[in-house]
Chain A
Amino acid sequence: MRRSRPILTRCFLLAALLAGHINVLAQDLPIESQKRILFPHPMHQKWQVSVGVTTTAMPSDITEELRYRIPAGDVHILKNITGGFYLDGRMSVQFIQNLLTLGPRWAKPLNDRISLAIGNDIGYWFGFINTGGIKTKGNGWQNYPNVSFGYRFNKGILLTLKAESMMNLSINTTAGEVPVTYEYGLFSGSAYTVALEQPFYGKKSITLAFRAMYTNFYWQTWTLFETFDRNLFFPQVIIGVIL
């Protein structure tokens, strides 16, 4: 058995560990005054908006010689509802292919520093791409049940660990006029995110996250019409500014 570990992944996680460690002893900042988008905690504001980019490395097993990492523009919006409930909506935009997700969250602080959240996002992706003179189009519904664990360090450092199940509810693709068969199962894999959020310039905050996806279908690869029924690794880096 052979394996390789991406250096980027290791560097990011080591940086996350160090950042957390350094800030453990720094001055505290109350949670109410901290902006956050991924950290699982009941909202104090009506809305919270973040804009940023997400870049995903595609495995060569399916992209072959095309090594592309096209960043997607991200808009992430939280809407406070009541009593620890809020709505989480996200738009991931590449124009030729896009993903929208929306779902409820329920967050519960366990103590002054630790909090948890559970949620479920419904996602819809769609795309239109002309590949090699063939007009391809695709869309699909997805579902992401998720659980998040948050730890608030001193000085406003928020660490979030999030686990998601990735489910395909439908996949519809066509190449020209030919419907492309996708034999997919309901459960396509899982994703694990480690995220840091902290105050940035002005009154803004910044999100820096690494998401490791292990899935047999990632929506951004629908044009490749791949046939594998095994989970491939899609590392993703997420950077956002919370407005």
Chain B
Amino acid sequence: MLIHKIIYFLCSVLLLSCHQTLKPEVPEVAWTQFDSLPRKLSVQQFHNLQGVYSIIGTDDFGPLAVLKWSYTVQEQDTLHYMSILCENEAAYFICSGKRSGTNTLLKGYWRKPVNTETGTVRIHIPDETVGKKMAIQVNYGDDEETPDKTMTLTYLRPLNTKQDFEIIGHRGGGRMGDLLPASENSVALLRMASQLGATGVEIDIQLTKDSIPVLYHDDKINDRLTQKAGIRGSLNEYTFEELSAQIHLKNGERIPTLEQALKTIVFETPLHYVWLDAKDSASHHLLRKLQTEYIQKATSNGRTVEITIGIHDEANLNNFKKLPLYQSIPSLCELDTTEVKAINSKIWAPMWTEGLQKEQVQAMQASGKKVFVWTIDKAKDIREFMLEGGYDGIVSNYPSLVAFYYYTRE
């Protein structure tokens, strides 16, 4: 009967439509003019393009854009990137650059992490347009389509850097749920964090069975963070070697050790702040050893990298207090301000749900402490805590949005 066929058809459509959200891949479209060029941009050439721009010709990304360059070091080669950070839906562009005669070319992709929108971008900047009245024509497209849409970025002013402010990427730069091309708490994401506008990162630490601190958030090995594997349970049931052999993070990376993570941050990125959020408070002595070692290594490398041990509960606090000379150890405390003072933490980090707490924030700052708030992802809240709350840093899954509001401050 026809009606049965119709019912079967409708049920089949429903059956086949039951799938989870599609994950956007990083789109790439060949651009012969760019791809064939050997010459990379110099730091100065990237620097000349930095600034706050108005966006004309589209409402896709908001009225303003922040152009900010960053770098990563890979195999002794320094790769520079230009990030374009926008307001709408935490949109960001990440481009690499090359020189073609007297022109600067930028090629990359854009993404809105609150949804799955993404696309390609090509930018062609003749040298004669570079300057205070700079107008940059940007071609962008959706998904892997050739970028056939146009917008113009018109230079307005330099980036705000007046306030000392930390833009902290949660879990190394963003959550798994944001469908970034790198997994949360992975080395790949740490390399990407500064391209997302972060100046620092919060990373989650757990111990393996053989007492190696590694980066991982959840209590269990699960499908949220890892590809399907033959092992289950807690990380501390397995040695690091077993985990390395059997576990891939969602985007294919291995679970990194804390040492690999700190080495990446110190030697391969411009990040200058690290919040070590230890899930296992018994690991504090191991964290302390690596903290000391990598602060020194950063200094030897001509960099200042602040690494703090996070204290988030009583057990954590008690174990921290067992460390020799704990009051001189750089730490961040999420507990109340009395505890912050008692252990001489450098940073107080209340949760955003506690509210702005202006008086306490000012009191802590007056006593020489910094105050960071976690974890804020909504634009209105980011603006409020940054502009009204007077905080010294914000932890966010959307560091690009925090960076946008910070650099566009007037």
Contact = CB atoms under 8 A, between A and B. Distances in A.
Nearest to B7: A151
Categorize the interface residue count of chain A.
35 or more
Interface string A175-193: 1111011010000000010
B377 A227 contact: yes
Interface in A1-19: 1-6, 9-10, 13-14, 16-17
A122 B329 CA distance: 57
Categorize the interface residue count of chain B.
35 or more
A235 B114 contact: no
Given A17-B8, A114-B3, A227-B398, 16 more contacts: A3-B20, A4-B19, A5-B18, A10-B18, A17-B11, A24-B4, A61-B21, A65-B218, A134-B353, A175-B353, A178-B355, A180-B378, A181-B380, A183-B380, A227-B377, A233-B21
Contacts, number: 119
A50 to B, nearest CB: 22
A118 B114 CA distance: 34
Per DSSP, chain B at the interface is loop
A100 B203 CA distance: 41
A157 B384 CA distance: 57
B7 A233 contact: no
Given A161-B10, A176-B354, A178-B355, A231 B21 contact: yes
A3 B19 CA distance: 6
Contacts of B218: 64-65
B386 to A, nearest CB: 14
A28 interface: no
Contacts of B379: 181, 183
Nearest to A178: B355
Interface in B196-238: 217-220, 222-224
B14 A228 contact: no
B3 A113 contact: yes
A20 B4 CA distance: 9
Nearest to B384: A181
Per DSSP, chain A at the interface is mixed
B22 A3 contact: yes
B201 to A, nearest CB: 18
Interface of A: 1-6, 9-10, 13-14, 16-17, 20-21, 24, 59-62, 64-65, 113-114, 132, 134, 136, 149, 151, 159, 161, 175-178, 180-181, 183, 192, 194, 212, 225, 227-233, 235
- Most chain A beta-carbon contacts within 10 A, residue among B11, B217, B218, B219: B11
Interface string B103-119: 00000000010111000
Nearest to A226: B177
B15 A13 contact: yes
Given A181-B380, A228-B177, A192 B14 contact: yes
Contact of B19 (A225, A230, A233): A233
A229 B11 contact: no
A65 B353 contact: no
17 contacts: A5-B18, A10-B18, A20-B4, A24-B1, A61-B177, A64-B177, A65-B220, A113-B3, A134-B354, A151-B7, A176-B355, A183-B378, A183-B379, A194-B14, A230-B116, A231-B21, A232-B20
